[in-house]
Structure 1
Amino acid sequence: MPVSTALDALSLPPMQLVSSSWPWRAVLYLTVGALPGGPAIVLLMRYGIEEPLPVLLAAVSTLVAGTIVFGRLERWRLRLVDNVPLPDAHRPLHRRGWRHTLRVRLREQVTWREIGFTGISTIVLCWLDAVVLACMVGYPTVALLSPLHERDRPPLAMLVSVGMGVGLLAAAPYVVTAWAGARAAMARALLGPRESDRLGERLVEVTRSRARLVDAFEGERRRIERDLHDGAQQRLVALNVYLGLARLEVPAGSPAHDPLVKAHELAQRALSELRELIRGVHPPVLTDRGLAAALHDLAGRSPVPVDVDVRLTGRLPPSMEVTAYFVVGEALTNIARHSRAGRAAVTAGLHGDRLILRISDDGVGGADQQAGTGLAGLADRVAAVGGTLSLFSPPGGPTLMQAEFPGVVR
């Protein structure tokens, strides 16, 4: 059975363990781990008694600032007693700059685990490493060498000292390897990636991917709207003009008059339907004048009177504007079809970094998000840009729909 960690090495036969490299690797691992204790005790003895608060603040600042570097060093040091590489649990950075790095790292659970592990290692574990090395390596070595430099000691005392040294040295491979393996297991548990971290990374990537898809989809909608507006709509307008001129040239009693009138009416209807289609794909008023003007346009075309109160300064992200527009459009359509309302209201405004959109009516209420009125699709559409949709519609009314969109940059 291959041995990959110091803890696995403890299952080897005694002679095989002693003759292997694992005890020596464990000694080196613990020696490196005990090094931070030296500077810490010097600083504590030199400044900590007279000025404890500055020393404490400096220690905490150093701990937080150096924790990621310490984590990387610990992952590298772990290879001494663990042949399985420990991957970095931090997410890759997509932008440079210390502000972005600090913002991303402080939101990661592994960063706080690294801070805790660094603190425990500096305050407790390094001293335990030193104690294990002193008891299992240092003292036995000194005891075995004592006959060479303490010749005036009584023979019995020297014999006891040498015997204790031999006993401790015989147990040292097991004790040192076991403690190093336990330290390494603790480091792997705290610094290694966890399933929750991986799920968080996947969630972040899914959110970014969804945002990219939404932006690409809205860009394609704008392209289709532009092609229809500049192509098919212009040809239908020209066709209507020519048919109108032809109607003026054909007498009323002519056999061609009635078919020409019918063709003109069909062309006008096709032009009207195309304009509605363009407005449904991507309303030109939204592209040209922004969300406030587009909401007023929606309210003006609603069969139910709508009070509009929009308090926005400047433009919002395109995907957010389009989603807000279609939320209001679908809500006003449902109000006209189902609510029997006498009046509706639309309000929109910024609260912090969030766009809050509210649509209310004085109708009969009883709207259900799962009843197939398009509300479930609206909720999915709002969620696609990171927002939330809530509905309050008790039987008898009134009805209030609220959509929140985060991430507005003023």
Structure 2
Amino acid sequence: MLNRTALEALTRRPLPFLGSAWPWRSAAYLLASAVPGVAVGVAAFATIPLGWVGAPVVLALSLPFVAWFERRRLRLVDGVPLPEVPDRRRREAGLAVFTVLALWWIDLIMLAFTVGGPVILILSPVVQPLADSVAVVASVGGVLLLPVAAYTITAWGGARGVMVRAMLAPQGAELSEVLRSRARLVDAFEVERRRIERDLHDGAQQRLVSLSMTLGLARLDLPDDSPTGRLIERAHDEAKQALAELRELIRGVHSQVLTDRGLGAAVRDVAGRSPVPVDVAVELDGRLPAPVEVTAYYVVSEALANLAKHSRATSGAVTARVERGTLVVEVRDDGTGGADPAKGTGLTGLADRLAVVGGRLSLSSPVGGPTLIRVEIPCA
């Protein structure tokens, strides 16, 4: 399994972990804390003649270097790239101040105690005049403590890396980047759907129309009771059925009505094709942003498909309106209820799609019915 951080490496089995580079990388990460500490210390010593004025000046001048160094060495214990945040400079300055005042010497003390103890025990026959048996026991104990030191160093290095990441890029920033990435994927998917719809409409559908017309003309030139005529008539019927199925498929891939006439017309179109009677009440003033319309349309399409397949309803209703800058869409039916997102009805996928545009889905479907799906999508 590929580990991207030191903390993830700690979850591996002992032998693979101890044989990996993570303990050494963590030790190098902590040892590197001497660089900003020594640099600032030397610079501060050089400004002693300036008195108390020199220390703040040195600290301010050293912050950009310390921040740059912290970002670069974070890769030793955390291989996940840092996302860009709007207030990057301010966060880097805060981390640099924290490193110079506290973190660098804490790291070195932690490393010294963790490694120094086992090393002293291993070298006890050299550094202390002990009996031979005591020296051997001490050396063996030091060797046995080295794996413990490897775990301790990696744990502290990983925890420090998490703290640095939290200061440079809080979780909200990473979540925003994930949402933006999901939005880009949805946009790319929608563009691809439109391309497929256009290719089917201009290619396969036109060929089927031409084939159906040719078969129809051929049928006119043959006697009604001839075997060839019956075969041509059957082929003509199959071509017309295939054309109808292709048109339905094209509507499912992308609604041209939605693109040309907007959400209201598209909802009435999909409701009109539902096998269950559906009342539509759409109150919209003009067009809405394209992502809002597309998301709302597919919510209604999926909800009406579920209504026809699972609800055992005799009627349904769709309402849509804008309330204080938010599109509110409700789909209700008089069916048996009991809708469960875990049963594969597509509701989970709708909730994920709504999350991309900042929307929210609410479901009320008690056993025995009725079922109400309410969707709220910001129009901004």
TM bucket normalised to smaller: 0.5 to 0.7
Q: Does 1:333 align with 2:315?
A: no
- Equivalent residue, structure 2, for 1:278: 250
- SS at the partner of 1:256? helix
- SS at the partner of 1:303? coil
Amino acid of the residue matched to residue 248 of structure 2? E
- SS at the partner of 2:361? strand
Conserved? CA contact 1:307–1:345, under 8 Å: yes
Change (3 A) 1:267 1:77: same
Conserved? CA contact 2:36–2:100, under 8 Å: no
Q: CA RMSD in A?
A: 3.7
- Equivalent residue, structure 1, for 2:101: 185
Query: Deviations along 1:224-246, whole A, 9 cap, x unmatched?
Result: 11121122111211211121122
Shift of residue 304, structure 1, vs aligned partner: 1.5
Give the distance between the partners of 1:404 and 1:312, measured in 2 at CA.
Answer: 14
Change (3 A) 1:300 1:387: same
- Equivalent residue, structure 2, for 1:226: 198
Change (3 A) 1:316 1:375: same
Give the distance between the partners of 2:187 and 2:205, measured in 1 at CA.
Answer: 25
- Equivalent residue, structure 2, for 1:369: 341
Change (3 A) 1:400 1:22: same
- Equivalent residue, structure 1, for 2:374: 402
- SS at the partner of 1:349? strand
Aligned pairs (5 A) from 1:254-403: 254-403=226-375
Change (3 A) 1:21 1:328: closer
Give the distance between the partners of 1:29 and 1:218, measured in 2 at CA.
Answer: 65
Conserved? CA contact 2:40–2:62, under 8 Å: no
Conserved? CA contact 2:48–2:54, under 8 Å: no
Long gaps (5+) in structure 2 = 1-30, 72-81, 105-159
- SS at the partner of 2:337? coil
Give the distance between the partners of 2:277 and 2:247, measured in 1 at CA.
Answer: 23
Change (3 A) 1:88 1:285: farther
Shift of residue 274, structure 1, vs aligned partner: 0.5
Change (3 A) 1:186 1:400: farther
Aligned pairs (5 A) from 1:161-240: 184-185=100-101, 194-195=166-167, 197-240=169-212
Change (3 A) 1:25 1:208: farther
Give the distance between the partners of 1:241 and 1:402, measured in 2 at CA.
Answer: 45
Shift of residue 402, structure 1, vs aligned partner: 1.4
Residue of structure 2 aligned with 1:84, choices 47, 66, 73: 66
Give the distance between the partners of 1:317 and 1:29, measured in 2 at CA.
Answer: 62
Shift of residue 83, structure 1, vs aligned partner: 6.1
Give the distance between the partners of 1:287 and 1:367, measured in 2 at CA.
Answer: 31
Give the distance between the partners of 2:246 and 2:278, measured in 1 at CA.
Answer: 25
Shift of residue 383, structure 1, vs aligned partner: 2.3
- Equivalent residue, structure 2, for 1:5: 37
Amino acid of the residue matched to residue 4 of structure 1? P
Give the distance between the partners of 1:204 and 1:275, measured in 2 at CA.
Answer: 39
Give the distance between the partners of 1:92 and 1:182, measured in 2 at CA.
Answer: 21
TM-score, normalised via structure 1 length: 0.59
Q: Percent identity?
A: 50
- Equivalent residue, structure 1, for 2:220: 248
Shift of residue 28, structure 1, vs aligned partner: 5.7
Change (3 A) 1:21 1:219: closer
Bigger CA radius of gyration:
1
Change (3 A) 1:243 1:373: same
Shift of residue 85, structure 1, vs aligned partner: 3.0
- SS at the partner of 2:36? coil
Shift of residue 91, structure 1, vs aligned partner: 8.0
Give the distance between the partners of 1:81 and 1:316, measured in 2 at CA.
Answer: 48
Give the distance between the partners of 2:367 and 2:339, measured in 1 at CA.
Answer: 8
Give the distance between the partners of 1:243 and 1:259, measured in 2 at CA.
Answer: 10
Give the distance between the partners of 2:50 and 2:333, measured in 1 at CA.
Answer: 74
Shift of residue 84, structure 1, vs aligned partner: 2.5
Shift of residue 92, structure 1, vs aligned partner: 5.7
Conserved? CA contact 1:214–1:385, under 8 Å: no
Conserved? CA contact 1:369–1:391, under 8 Å: no
Change (3 A) 1:183 1:243: closer
